[in-house]
Amino acid sequence: MRDAFVNALLEIAKKERNVILVTGDLGFGVLKPFWEQLPDQIINVGIAEQNMTSLAAGMALEGKTIFTYSIGNFPTLRCIEQIRNDCAYHRANVKIVCIGGGFVYGSLGMSHHATEDIAMMRALPDVLVVCPGDLVEAEKATQAIAAYDGTCYLRLGRGGEKKVHDHIDDFALGKAVKVRDCKAAQNRVALFSTGAILDAATDACDQLEADGFGVEQYSFHTVKPIDAAVIADCAQRFDYIFTVEEHNIVGGFGSAVAEVLSAQGTATKLIRIGINDLYSSIVGSQAYLRDHYGMSAQKIVERVKSLS
C-alpha cells in the first residue's frame, strides 16, 4: 500500500510542481524513487512532527499542496493541535499521511498502535478522513485527495496487503465501493469495513458465503464524509449491519455508521467489530493482534454467526 501511494504521488508531483512531500525522518527506502527523481519537492524535517505540520500549513497557505508523511500516531496524535489550529482551521491544503494504521507496528507496543486516529481526525471540522482498503483504493485515494482543496487525512497500511479490487471505475471521495452483492435469500447481512482490514473482511465474507450466508459487502474508503446513502439503503434491506475496523470502536468508523443509522429510525441492528475501548497491553504481529482482539477473518465469521 505504501508503494501504491508513493508511485501515485510521484506521478502527480511530476506534473504539479507545487506538490511537496514532507517526511518526518523515515520512509527512505520506499521514498527513494521520489527523492531521486524530484529532489526539490521533498523535505526531511527530522523527528519533529509538530514542526512538520506547522511548516506544511505555512507552505500550503503560500500556494503549495503538501503531503506530510510518518508512521502510526506520529503525524496525527502527536501533533493534533497543529493539525487543528494551523491546518484545519485555515482549510490549508495539507494531506496528512499515516503509514501503519491499526496494528501494523504491533510488535513495537501501544505507542506505535494507531487505534484512535480515525476518531481524532474525523472530529476536526472540514477534515476529510480517507482509509483505503487495498492497493487500488490507495492509488485512487491519493489522486483524489491531491485534487481536493483542503485538509485531508490518508490512513494507509504498510505493505503486503492483498489486492481485493481488480479496478474501480467510479471511485469518488465519500462513496463506498461495493465488493459483493447478497446472493442468498436467508441469513442475510451487510458487512462494512474501512482501511486495510478489508482483506480480513473479504476472507470472512468468502467463508460466510460458503456456509450459506447472504453477505452484501462494502469497503468504505472514506469515513468522512461517510456514504450515508449506502448505509440507509442497507438499513432498509438487512436486519444486521456489521462494521469492521482496525481501530477503537468508540468514535471510529462504526460510530460514524451509528450516527447515520440513529437519524434513520430503523430497526436494523448494528454490530461494531473492532477494539473494545482499550489499549493493547500485549505485543505481537499485526495478524496475531487482529486475531487476539477479534478482527481476524475467522473471528469475524464467528461473530456474525453468533448474532445473525
In terms of residue numbers, what domain contains 274?
177-307
4-53, pLDDT tens digit by residue? 999 999 999 999 999 999 999 987 888 999 999 999 999 999 999 999 99
Please tell me whether residues 7 and 104 are part of one structural domain. yes
229-252, pLDDT tens digit by residue? 999 999 999 999 999 999 999 999
Please tell me whether residues 147 and 114 are part of one structural domain. yes
Can you tell me which residue has the cell 442475510? 188
What letter represents residue 283's amino acid?
Answer: V
pLDDT value for 265 = 80
Please tell me whether residues 83 and 207 are part of one structural domain. no
Q: Provide the number of structural domains found in the chain.
A: 2
In a domain, 167, yes or no: no
Q: How far apart are CA 283 and CA 106, in angstroms?
A: 6
In a domain, 241, yes or no: yes
Please tell me whether residues 18 and 148 are part of one structural domain. yes
Distances (CA, A) of 149 to 52, 72, 127, 193: 20, 24, 11, 26
Please tell me whether residues 50 and 143 are part of one structural domain. yes
40-98, pLDDT tens digit by residue? 999 999 999 999 999 999 999 999 999 999 998 999 999 999 999 999 999 999 999 99
pLDDT value for 289 = 96
Strand partners, 99: 71, 156
> Helix %, strand %, coil % for the chain, to 5?
45, 20, 35
114-149, pLDDT tens digit by residue? 999 999 999 999 999 999 999 999 999 999 999 999
Q: How far apart are CA 98 and CA 3, in angstroms?
A: 13
Please tell me whether residues 7 and 152 are part of one structural domain. yes
178-213, pLDDT tens digit by residue? 999 998 778 899 999 999 999 999 999 999 999 999
In a domain, 248, yes or no: yes
In a domain, 165, yes or no: no
pLDDT value for 19 = 97
pLDDT reading at 308 higher than 70: no
Please tell me whether residues 276 and 208 are part of one structural domain. yes
* C-beta separation of 134 from 158 below 8 A: no
Please tell me whether residues 118 and 259 are part of one structural domain. no
Please tell me whether residues 192 and 292 are part of one structural domain. yes
Average pLDDT over every residue of 211-224: 97
127: cell is 477534515
Residue 218: which CATH number?
Answer: 3.40.50.920
Please tell me whether residues 18 and 124 are part of one structural domain. yes
Nearest to 206 by CA among 172, 183, 222: 183
